[in-house]
Chains A and B, each alone.
Chain A
Amino acid sequence: MKISVDGIYLPGNKTPIEGKQKECEDFILFGNLPIPHIILCDGCSSTYNSATGARILAHAAKKSLYNMIHVNRIMDIDYIGEEIIRRAQFVTETIGLNKDALAATLIMSFYWDRKIHTYIYGDGVYFAKSSKMSICSTINYDYESPYYLYYKIDPGAKYDYQLRLGSTELSVSFHEEISKFYSGGQDVERKTTNRRRAFNYNHHFIAEIKEFSIHMVTSDGVSRFVNKENTKRIPIEDMMDRLTKFKNTNGEFVKRRVLAEIKSLAKQGFDFYDDLAVACFLTEEDNAEGSDSGTNETDNTG
Chain B
Amino acid sequence: MTEQNIIPPDLMKKFSGGNFEFHGTSTKHLKSTKYTLGIVAIDVSGSLYGFGSELTEMGRNVIEALRKDKANAPNMLIRGVTFASTLNELHGFKLLKHIDEQNEYPIFKPNGGTALIDVTYSSIEAIFEYARNLTDQEYTVNAILAVVTDGDDTTSSRKEPELIELLHQGARDEEIGLESFTRILIGMNTKDCGAYLNDFKTVGEFDQYFDMDDASPSSIAKIGLGISSAISSTSSVCGTGQASAPIII
Interface residues of A (CB under 8 A from B): 247-248, 250-252, 255-257, 259-260, 289-290, 292
Contact = CB atoms under 8 A, between A and B. Distances in A.
A247 B140 contact: no
A257 B32 CA distance: 12
Given A247-B137, A250-B28, A260-B138, 17 more contacts: A247-B136, A248-B27, A248-B28, A248-B137, A250-B29, A250-B31, A251-B31, A252-B32, A252-B33, A255-B33, A256-B137, A256-B138, A259-B138, A259-B140, A289-B28, A290-B27, A290-B28
B179 to A, nearest CB: 11
A260 B138 CA distance: 6
Contacts of A252: 31-33
B30 interface: yes
Contacts of B140: 259
Interface in B18-43: 27-33
A10 to B, nearest CB: 12
Interface of B is mostly: loop
A260 B136 CA distance: 10
Considering the complex of A and B, which 8 residue pairs feature the smallest CB-CB distances, nearest first?
A: A251-B31, A260-B138, A256-B138, A255-B33, A247-B137, A252-B33, A247-B138, A250-B31
Contacts of A250: 27-31
A112 to B, nearest CB: 26
Contacts of A260: 138
A250 B28 CA distance: 6
Contacts of B121: none
Contacts of B128: none
A292 B30 CA distance: 11
B139 interface: yes
30 contacts: A247-B136, A247-B138, A248-B27, A248-B137, A248-B138, A250-B27, A250-B28, A250-B29, A250-B30, A250-B31, A251-B30, A251-B31, A251-B32, A252-B31, A252-B32, A252-B33, A255-B33, A256-B33, A256-B137, A256-B138, A256-B139, A257-B138, A259-B33, A259-B138, A259-B140, A260-B138, A289-B28, A290-B27, A290-B28, A292-B31
A290 B32 CA distance: 13
A267 to B, nearest CB: 10
Contacts of B27: 248, 250, 290
